């Protein structure tokens, strides 16, 4: 289901990918993937992150095999090359200077993406801390000097989207825990019934075996 925040992203802000905050990596990852998906050739851009850049096709010329030049690529390959470059630019625009300094030696989007993920591991807040941070941000939400009404509106919707996402994760986790408890209880009851049945079947045979002959 498309949220209001998703619609707000669709309506514009193509040159403004969400900015990474170190203690909100999971939220940033979800939002920037949504941002990529909602722009032209979004699926190809996400594929660039998942599978890496296009392996340049080759051509044989005068008995020598060489990589194709850009103007020699098929239309589909040319689009993928453009998407590879665009993916890198989107990621770099969405990270703060201190993170950029740690990934600037990587030129491929997939490598940059994986490096950021590695750097952010262990820095994410606990579920309770993230909830507290989001609600605190909601309570203190205010207009920032110089921002337009549309920027204010979009920023507020993105905050609500993060809060809703946190609630969905929490509800899903609670549901899974309840399901696991129910499964474990059912297995325990099944084993108990199995033992009782086995005992009840063995008791008559024991009494019959011990009955004295006339």
Q: What is the pLDDT of residues 128-176, one digit of tens each?
A: 666 777 788 888 888 888 878 888 888 888 778 777 766 665 565 566 5
> If DSSP codes are grouped into helix, strand and coil, which group holds residue 64?
strand
More confident residue, 50 or 10: 50
Whether pLDDT at 96 is above 80: yes
The residues spanned by each domain of the chain are: 4-130+137-167
pTM: 0.53
Least confident of 51-55, 71-75, 111-115, 182-186: 182-186
Burial of residue 96, with CB atoms counted within 10 A of its CB: 0-12 exposed, 13-18 middle, 19 or more buried = exposed
More confident residue, 13 or 41: 41
Whether pLDDT at 88 is above 80: yes
> If DSSP codes are grouped into helix, strand and coil, which group holds residue 122?
coil
pLDDT at 164: 76
> Directed axis angle between helix 42-51 and helix 75-93, to 10°?
80
């Amino acid at each position: 289901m498309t949220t209001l925040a998703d619609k707000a992203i669709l309506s514009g802000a193509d040159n403004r990918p969400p900015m990474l905050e170190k203690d909100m990596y999971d939220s940033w990852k979800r939002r920037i993937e949504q941002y990529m998906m909602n722009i032209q050739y979004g699926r190809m851009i996400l594929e660039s992150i998942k599978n890496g850049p296009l392996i340049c096709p080759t051509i044989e010329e005068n008995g020598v095999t060489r990589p194709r030049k850009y103007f020699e690529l098929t239309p589909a390959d040319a689009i993928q090359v453009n998407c590879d470059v665009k993916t890198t630019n989107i990621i770099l625009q969405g990270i703060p200077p201190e993170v950029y300094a740690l990934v600037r030696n990587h030129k491929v989007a997939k490598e940059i993406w994986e490096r950021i993920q590695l750097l952010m591991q262990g820095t994410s807040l606990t579920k309770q801390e993230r909830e507290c941070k989001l609600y605190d941000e909601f309570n203190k939400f205010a207009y920032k000097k110089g921002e337009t009404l549309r920027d204010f509106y979009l920023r507020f919707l993105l905050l609500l989207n993060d809060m809703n996402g946190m609630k969905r994760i929490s509800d899903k986790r609670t549901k899974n825990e309840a399901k696991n408890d129910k499964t474990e209880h059912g297995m325990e009851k099944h084993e108990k019934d199995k033992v009782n049945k086995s005992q009840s079947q063995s008791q008559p045979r024991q009494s019959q075996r011990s009955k004295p002959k006339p």
